[in-house]
Amino acid sequence: MEVTVGVPLPILLLISLIPVTHSKSTIEPCNSSDSCVSLLYYILPYDSKLSEIAYRFGVNPFDILGANSISPKTLGDEIFKAESVVKVPIPCSCVDGIRRCMPPTYTVRPADTAASISEGFGGFVSAEQIRSRNGINATNPLTSGQSLVIPLPCTCFGNVSNGIPAVYMSYVVKSGESLSSIASEFGTTAMELEAVNGLGQAVVNSGDVLFIPISACSSANLKWYNESLIVAKGSFALTASNCIKCVCGTEDLNLRCWPSGIAPSCFQLQCKDSDLFIGDSVVNNTPFGCKVTTCIYRGHNGGKIYRR
């Protein structure tokens, strides 16, 4: 059976990162200035606070909570245990013709090595990549206090997979895993992963980085003003200066939005000439049957929130 991925893949390149292990990942060519949000399936190498994870990857703590469907109302410096999984959302842009994340920086500590830094970032970037990107070699070794750029993998592929809205997640293959076992874990097929990652055959090695399509909810057909949003299934995103929480549930791919309840100053949350607030519905009986009235979020522009 042929699987068609809803993005052009004619010149995907597989690159060898570490010759000994044949670690590889996919490069997505691009020719536009658009960007997207990509995910990292980050297995914590050691106990980490939420603030530490956010700082490590240069992202907003609220965005991490949303990607992991953790209520922002419980935001605190909670500790995530080693070996637990945290999905980290990272911005993915088009730079010099290929997809690249906006790379975080890392300040070298006295006992650090390129390998230990790679481990700290979940193996998404190899020790060799760190050396190459930062010009580290025998005559220019790592030094304490040095600032390094960490080139994390990401891809957009038009936020589509087989015609369905999708967010792409980077995943580091673990020892003993196969393409089929990974596909089964994330509700896809080995054939689709082959197509997305440009694999000539269904063979992966420990340390390889795969891109996995995760079904998502999109605002594309909701006629929003001045905003577009795509949210991975089973997660949420905050928008409109954190005033609005938009959720993509697990039952369907319909985006639902309502007031977040966390931002201190939010206005225009009530629909005009109505007692309903964004996300509220009311059912009225009429001679012709039931009439459902809903107050719907329609996007935002600066401090103005649109609704109807």
Closest by Cα among 159, 15, 148 to 92? 159
Q: Look up tokens 């600032």; give the residue.
A: 147
Interval 231-276: pLDDT, tens:
999 999 999 999 999 999 998 999 999 999 988 889 999 999 899 9
pLDDT at 75: 65
**pLDDT value, residue 11:** 34
Q: Please answer whether residues 47 and 82 qualify as being in contact, where contact means their C-beta atoms are separated by less than 8 angstroms.
A: yes
Residue from 127, 149, 114 nearest 207 by CA: 127
Give the global pTM: 0.87
pLDDT of residue 74: 63
Contact between 246 and 252 under an 8 Å Cβ cutoff? The reply is: no
pLDDT at 15 (0 to 100): 35
Inter-residue contact 216 to 232 (CB < 8 Å): yes
The rounded percent of the chain whose pLDDT value lies above 70 is 91
Answer yes or no: are the C-beta atoms of 167 and 38 closer than 8 Å: yes
Length of the chain: 308
Q: Answer yes or no: are the C-beta atoms of 125 and 152 closer than 8 Å.
A: yes
SS3 61: helix
> What confidence score (pLDDT) does residue 20 get?
35
Q: Residue 192 is inside which H or E element, if any? A: helix 190-196
Arithmetic mean of pLDDT over the chain: 89
pLDDT in tens, 108-121: 999 999 999 999 99
Which regions of the chain are under pLDDT 50? 1-22
